[in-house]
């Protein structure tokens, strides 16, 4: 992976950061919550559009991504019914149905021992990461939850692994109203900006990327 140096940041007074904190709604209806954290901002998103913007800065809307997300939904729905053929087929047939079944059941046993009985799942969204597409899933248990990342390439599933911090991203200030994300594990850096109202508090949040500008309106 190509190394991306940390962005240049500036110190911003806590009061200025607090004026950006709040709840925002994207055009598709997804919610993003902005909170002050350690001299910067922590953004938490709910929904596929929010997840894609926080991860890549792009909206991630396409028929291909929707098809992958729908396929993931169908696979997990089948697994909940004890049917493992859709999962085996997604892996390209390299594994037997028994291998796939044992893999899934072993994971469920580990998670139920940790979090209690399994209840349901939520497909959170799919992100285009160039050669790969990643679908993020939340598995919900009686006493907690776990995130999974399904990695898709060339129409096939190439791996499933645990994921942490799904739907969250930390942004550091480049000015009192402009911020950028940074992660040692991702070459993508997302730029955001806030539009301030007459009261001095933010009224809108903007994501800037090659796709243009996506604006989320403040709703709290």
Q: Which of 61, 54, 55 is nearest to 28 (CA)?
A: 61
Do 54 and 73 share a domain, yes or no? no
Does residue 8 lie within any of the structural domains?
Answer: no
Number of domains in the chain: 2
Do 110 and 147 share a domain, yes or no? yes
Q: Is 164 helix (H, G, I), strand (E, B) or coil?
A: coil
Does residue 214 lie within any of the structural domains?
Answer: yes
Do 156 and 89 share a domain, yes or no? yes
pLDDT tens sequence across 112-170:
999 999 999 999 888 887 788 999 999 999 999 999 999 999 989 999 999 887 788 89
Q: What is the pTM of this model?
A: 0.75
pLDDT tens sequence across 41-60:
999 987 788 888 888 877 76
Does residue 46 lie within any of the structural domains?
Answer: yes
pLDDT tens sequence across 59-112:
766 788 889 999 999 999 999 999 999 999 999 977 899 999 999 999 999 999
Do 153 and 103 share a domain, yes or no? yes
Q: Is residue 184 over pLDDT 60?
A: no
Do 138 and 53 share a domain, yes or no? no
Q: Which of 194, 167, 206 is nearest to 54 (CA)?
A: 167
């Amino acid at each position: 992976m190509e190394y991306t140096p940390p962005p240049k940041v500036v110190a911003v007074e806590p009061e200025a950061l607090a004026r950006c904190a709040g709840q925002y709604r994207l055009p598709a209806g997804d919610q993003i919550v902005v909170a002050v954290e350690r001299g910067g901002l922590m953004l938490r998103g709910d929904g596929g559009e929010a997840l894609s913007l926080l991860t890549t800065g792009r909206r991630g809307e396409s028929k291909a991504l929707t098809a992958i997300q729908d396929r993931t939904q169908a696979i997990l729905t089948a697994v909940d019914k004890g049917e493992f053929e859709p999962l085996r087929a997604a892996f390209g047939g390299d594994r037997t149905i028994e291998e796939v079944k044992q893999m899934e059941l072993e994971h469920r046993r580990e998670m139920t021992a940790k979090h209690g009985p399994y209840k349901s799942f939520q497909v959170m969204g799919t992100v285009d990461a160039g050669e790969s597409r990643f679908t993020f899933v939340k598995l919900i248990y009686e006493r907690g939850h776990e995130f999974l990342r399904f990695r898709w390439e060339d129409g096939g599933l190439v791996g499933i692994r645990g994921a942490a911090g799904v739907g969250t991203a930390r942004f550091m200030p480049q000015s009192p109203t402009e911020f950028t994300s940074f992660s040692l594990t991702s070459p993508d850096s997302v730029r955001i900006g806030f539009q301030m109202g007459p009261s001095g508090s933010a009224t809108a949040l903007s994501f800037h990327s090659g796709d243009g500008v996506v604006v989320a309106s403040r709703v709290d």
